[in-house]
Structure 1
């Protein structure tokens, strides 16, 4: 359970923004979306490889 302490005089929107950021960092939402549907291990592995290739191409382009 996430807890956000709201300081006195702090805007509630600011506290809500901190909550959303903390929630996204935990990866809870992403995990729930992944569990919605079963994905075959081969498809998951293929997606990981594609992501790694994409990140590597970005790094290579940055070095040029």
Structure 2
């Protein structure tokens, strides 16, 4: 995958690098790469998603109190 970042005339290198990094983060390439390093069975993946959802709901309820 190729990321193209346009740099305007007079724009600093730091700002261009920041734009590039933001685009890279949005593509989620690194997250996908880390997930593929280790195989997770589909049933285990679903179980983890359910546990994360339960945790999120508990935290949300605690914040509301």
TM-score range, shorter chain: 0.7 to 0.9
Partners of 1:17 and 1:7 lie apart in 2 by 14
TM-score between both structures, scaled by the size of structure 1:
0.83
Alignment size in residue pairs: 64
Task: Give 4+ residue runs of structure 1 displaced > 6 Å after superposition.
Answer: none
Residue segments in structure 2 that go unaligned for 5+ positions in a row: none
TM score, norm. by length of structure 2: 0.82
- What is the root-mean-square deviation in Å for CA atoms of aligned residues? 1.3
Instruction: Kindly report which structure 2 residues correspond to 1:5-44, keeping only aligned pairs within 5 A, or say none.
Output: 5-44=6-45
